[in-house]
Structure 1
Amino acid sequence: MQEFAPPLTFSALVTTLRAAGCVFAEDEAELLLSTAAGPAALTAMLERRVAGLPLEHVLGWAEFCGLRISVGPGVFVPRRRTEFLVRQAVALTPAPSVVVDLCCGSGALGTALASSLDGVELHAADVEPAAVRCARRNVGGLGTVYEGDLFAPLPRSLRGRVDVLLANVPYVPTGDVELLPAEARDHEPRVALDGGGDGLDVMRRVVAEATDWLAPGGSLLVETSERQAARAEETVGSSGLLARVVVSEELYATVVIGTSPR
């Protein structure tokens, strides 16, 4: 373990972080200083960051849609680009509404949406036990989090009642997972990254059942990559949903929206 000579000043933090390859060393130093409970905690956090842990896992939280979302080891870190999906969902969500957050990870999407609107009945699910524990902390009294594969753990009473279905499914093609940054590849669960041969396997499973769960006029929202967008739109449309693609060049985000006919 690398040793750091006290005191760990802002300048010393920046120098160490930059030497470890952290591109935004100044920003990270400020976050470490503001989060650490004391000098010993700061040293431990710096050691973990230099060892390659994602900054969010070191801090214990990630900023998402203006919220501090709790994250931890083995939990997928919500990406800033996914805020675009949440914004699209907010615009589509009626009041009151039933919202389901599938592949919820930390529960960031559902938490952000339910925090933005009144009258949201939120249900979230993930197959990873660590993610479920984390999501339950974030969702709190805003809704209910279930452990299980996709729709399987959801109450049957939700069938045909879901107004907005958020599905931030894994969409990295299996062959590309090893090309991801080490922070994701080594510290986030593979099940949250690997989308199968072309990256759309999990999305296809969601789409295959989505129409049974959506209310008339309800919408499914899934994030994908620019190169997968046309195939993803075709897949969503083939299920009978009215499909369209929306893009944010600023966040480099691509979202496919499928809306159930009324």
Structure 2
Amino acid sequence: MSLPLSPSPSSVVAALRAAGCVFAEDEAELILGAARGPAELAAMVARRTEGLPLELVVGWAEFSGLRIAVEPGVFVPRRRTEFLVEQALDAAPHAALVVDLCCGSGAVGAALATALAPVELHAADIDPAAVDCARRNLAGHGGRVHQGDLYAALPGRLRGRVDILAANVPYVPTAEVGLLPAEARDHEPTVALDGGTDGLDVLRRVAAGARDWLAPGGCLLTETSGRQAPEAVAVLTRAGLTARPAVSEELHAHVVIGTR
């Protein structure tokens, strides 16, 4: 469905509804608020009706009350991951040093820094696009963002000092990546989704080094699925951490917490 030359709110809603957008009215309001003129509005509606995730259309995602900038090729933060932030703050309410590992857009780090300020914040990701995006989101929090593979990206001086190690690792089993919704499967980097044969390969690597980087009493938190949670707890336990699961029925979120 094409838009008229001067799109009205009703025509935007109609175009989104025709494309199958369940929350057409809410999405139209966000797109209308972000567009800087009729031409940009028409282009944004076209991108959305072609299947681009809404967050990438408007350029931001809401997360823990913040607007997190997102860009094509970067993992879009999920609202369920707000539960990981809540659990981190409950576990370490006075944390002085936070690391957001596999940071993507830096949403988790930004939320933790906002709640804990002042705090020393570091974030890391292997994907250059994610690093660039996270630098934008964390600049106002004094966050330092590093590119590299897990702990190899971090400054050595952080070893043994980290109070909160938030590692929102990829946890979709390789064989199930193709079954994800098209918005994730077609528009987000596979490296941010694919967790290996059983979905826990990256978590095993993070857990193996966690005790070396955590401060005494520091905690590692990671998101997982309900099906994987028992084994994720076992992975952290075998790595020498005191591990437990946490569940939010409201957000359909599962988090595993390991404490040194």
Q: Quick one: distance in 2 between partners of 1:4 and 1:213?
A: 54
Write the letter of the residue equivalent to 1:75.
V
Give the match for residue 151 of structure 2.
Answer: 151
SS of 2:75's equivalent?
coil
**TM-score, scaled to structure 2:** 0.97
Cα displacement string for residues 209-248 of structure 1 (whole angstroms, at most 9, x for unaligned residues): 0110000000000000000000101111111100000000
Query: 5 Å matches for 1:243-258?
Result: 243-258=243-258
CA distance in 1, matches of 2:125, 2:209: 16
Q: Please give the alpha-carbon distance, in whole angstroms, between the structure 2 residues aligned to 1:88 and 1:40.
A: 43
1:42-57 pair list within 5 angstroms: 42-57=41-56
Shift of 1:6: 2.8
Q: 2 CA distance for matches of 1:171 and 1:235?
A: 13
Structure 2 partner of 1:67: 66
Deviations 1:82-103 (A, max 9, x none): 0000011112234351100000
**Where do residues 187-198 of structure 1 align in structure 2 (5 Å cutoff)?**
187-198=187-198
What does 1:85-234 align with in structure 2 at a 5 Å threshold? 85-95=84-94, 97-142=96-141, 143-234=143-234
Q: What TM-score do the two structures reach when normalised by structure 1? A: 0.97
Corresponding residue number in structure 2 for 1:241: 241
Match of 1:33 in 2: 32
Structure 2 distance, partners of 1:94, 1:226, is 26
Q: 1:134-159, CA deviations, whole angstroms, 9 ceiling, x for partnerless residues?
A: 00000004210001111111000111
CA distance in 2, matches of 1:233, 1:91: 18
The answer to whether the 8 A contact 1:95-1:118 is kept is: no
User: Which runs of no fewer than 5 residues in structure 1 stay unpaired?
Assistant: none
Q: Which runs of 5+ in 2 are unaligned?
A: none
Deviations 1:24-55 (A, max 9, x none): 11110010011111111111100111111111
After superposing the two structures, state which structure 1 stretch, 88-97 or 198-207, moved more: 88-97
- 4+ residue runs of structure 1 moved beyond 4 angstroms? none
Contact 1:95 1:120 in 2 (8 A): no
Residue of structure 2 equivalent to 1:7: 6
RMSD over aligned Cα atoms: 1.0
In 2, distance between residues paired with 1:238 and 1:161? 21
Whether the 8 Å CA contact 2:150–2:206 is kept in 1: the answer is: yes
The alignment partner of 2:151 has SS state of coil
* Equivalent residues of 1:232, 1:256 under 8 A apart: yes
| Structure-2 residue corresponding to 1:24 | 23
The separation in 1 between residues aligned to 2:153 and 2:248, in whole angstroms, is 33
Deviation at 1:119, TM superposition (A): 2.6
Count of matched residue positions in the alignment of Structure 1 and Structure 2:
259
Please give the alpha-carbon distance, in whole angstroms, between the structure 1 residues aligned to 2:4 and 2:133. 34
Cα-to-partner distance string for 1:173-193 (whole Å, 9 max, x where unaligned): 001100011110011000000
Q: Secondary structure at the match of 2:228?
A: helix
CA distance in 1, matches of 2:15, 2:117: 45
Q: % of aligned pairs identical?
A: 67
Q: Which amino acid aligns with 2:138?
A: V
Post-superposition offset of 1:10: 1.6
State the distance in 1 between where 2:26 and 2:2 align.
22
Name the CA distance, whole Å, in 2 between partners of 1:96 and 1:226: 28
